[in-house]
Structure 1
Amino acid sequence: MPAVRHPRGFDVDAAHAHLARADKRLAKWIARVEPVIPDPRWRKPFDTVDALARAILFQQLSGKAASTIVGRVEAAIGSTKLHADTLGRVDDATLRACGVSGNKLLALRDLSARSARGEIPTSREMAGLTDDDIIAALVPVRGIGRWTVEMMLMFRLGRADVLPIDDLGIRKGAQRIDGATDMPAPKLLAARGERWGPYRTCASLYLWRIADLANAGKAPVKRSQE
């Protein structure tokens, strides 16, 4: 039996129709926010190692600070691609001088080593892997957690059925649509989101927008892979 190939992206109109039928509370909020449309990144080629390296460098920093550090690293390695071979052109002291923290340096070196051993699937290879397979392949990398991989699944690969239950914005959005006093615990959110499948990615995008309505006037949150 041939392996299943997973498409990049999904039918947004079908997702809207399903969510409207499956969850009347969510449907009312969807009518109030900017609609989700197909994301051009779903069709754009990308390099897994480069994307993960950038995700590591952006962790726990403002977008401006992280972009500055990434620019310094690119200048130091003489390339706009963060790969095992390009990162290997400079020593640890050089990367630290670019503003890379000790923990992030260790994470980049671990990513590079795993890439050199063929342990990091390419974007083409990931087309033949399930979401769970991709998560299992990438979370062993130092500094890469499930949430970071979920962002790749959503924003880079356009997988249709991803619900990041540990994300505070997602939980805040779910709290708002249900008019709850507290944010739902991740386990309860997972159960709550069963009705959104197989389009939980679309529901997640709306939950973020709904949560952002409570933060009007504040700078939007920049998420990994965005």
Structure 2
Amino acid sequence: MSRFKRSYTGLKRPLPDEDEELSSKVTVELPKDFRDRHTVEFGLACDHILRVDPTLLEIITKQDFPLFLRREQQPQTLAHHYAKLASAIISQQISGAAARSVKARLMKNFGSEFPTPLQMHEQLSNPAGREMIRACGLSGRKVTYLESLTEYFINNEEVIEKLFNSKGKDEEIVEQLTKNVKGIGRWTASMFLVSGLGSYDVFAVEDLGLARGCSNYLSDKPTLVAKLTASRIAVKKSKIKHKKMNWKIYDEDLIELCAERFAPYRTVLMFIFWRLASTNVEVLEKNETNFVSK
């Protein structure tokens, strides 16, 4: 059982039928030192989440959230967005350490800076440059994906800048990236919204870790599950293969309905569910830190 799973210090663990009543009767606050270490928006997100479910205080404050710590903000430029998406492609299907190694070798060839779309285009346009890129540790397929991303940025600079700087365009951004860039699927595009654009209302329902975390969250909430089930409009079956799991797999529409209770801060809920899904604290800490560097 996860160390994080259900140990809420300072709050009486509710009986299943008390869940909905608890949120309206109990008020909890983030510790001041925890709040001060994180961004203002993250603090507001936690306030909202705790109003919905105060019992999440323990899992939230168990440790800091690296992505939401106060730090110098990077300029939201096209070069920044390109580097984030290219890094996401580099990181696919390999470990965090391997991805950092590939990225470091790539940057070394461009004066220790991540290449701009134009610089990458120039290298990919000739055989020697293309081989240099691949020699950094990239497969032929990933080179093709980077080329697709590069061409998209070069040919759509004004459109991308306007779209990425617009509020409330998350779904359109995901649609444009998945439609126009090879190698970028819905999950990768959603994670870019979080780490690249700082969106606070992203929830990747197809993620295995989220499904497990939500399952753990709902494990002692039969009343809530019943209410979610009664309110569902269209069933969306889980895409997770029903192998021998030691946790209940809920349909995607139920997970989405559960998450909607915490909008417009579902990104933070996503990180909380990942914590609830983890059984290894060291791995959890490493994964959250790696997320920042992508």
Same fold (TM over 0.5): yes
Structure 1 residues not aligned, in runs of 5+ = 1-8
Corresponding residue for residue 30 of structure 1: 59
**1:164 counterpart (204, 211, 216):** 204
Deviates more, 1:200-209 or 1:185-194: 185-194
Distance 1:68 1:35 in 2: 26
Q: Which letter maps to 1:14?
A: L
Q: Which letter maps to 1:161?
A: D
Instruction: Note if 1:155 corresponds to 2:155.
Output: no
Instruction: Note if 1:63 corresponds to 2:92.
Output: no
Q: Which letter maps to 1:114?
A: Y
Equivalent pair of 2:163/2:173 in contact (CA under 8 Å): no
Instruction: Note if 1:17 corresponds to 2:47.
Output: yes
The structure whose residues are more often helix, as a share, is 2
Distance 1:88 1:205 in 2: 35
Corresponding residue for residue 219 of structure 2: 179
Equivalent pair of 1:160/1:201 in contact (CA under 8 Å): yes
Identity %: 28
Aligned runs of 1:45-194 on 2, under 5 Å?
45-46=75-76, 47-78=80-111, 80-90=113-123, 91-118=129-156, 121-122=160-161, 125-129=163-167, 130-140=169-179, 141-179=181-219, 181-194=247-260
Q: Give the superposition deviation at 1:28.
A: 5.8
Corresponding residue for residue 196 of structure 1: 262
Distance 1:225 1:133 in 2: 25
Distance 1:209 1:85 in 2: 39
Equivalent pair of 1:170/1:208 in contact (CA under 8 Å): yes
Corresponding residue for residue 210 of structure 1: 276
Structure 2 residues not aligned, in runs of 5+ = 1-38, 124-128, 221-246
Q: Which letter maps to 2:204?
A: P
Deviates more, 1:196-205 or 1:28-37: 28-37
Structure showing greater Rg = 2
Q: Give the superposition deviation at 1:101.
A: 0.3
SS at match of 1:138: helix
Distance 2:71 2:150 in 1: 24
| Cα distance change of structure 1 residues 224 and 132 upon mapping to structure 2, 3 Å threshold | farther
CA RMSD, Structure 1 to Structure 2 (Å): 2.8
Distance 1:34 1:24 in 2: 17
| Cα distance change of structure 1 residues 117 and 48 upon mapping to structure 2, 3 Å threshold | same
Deviations 1:159-193 (A, max 9, x none): 22111111222222111112273233333211221
Q: Give the superposition deviation at 1:105.
A: 0.6
Q: Which letter maps to 2:145?
A: A
Q: Give the superposition deviation at 1:217.
A: 4.2
Distance 1:103 1:31 in 2: 39
Deviates more, 1:151-160 or 1:15-24: 15-24
SS at match of 2:259: helix
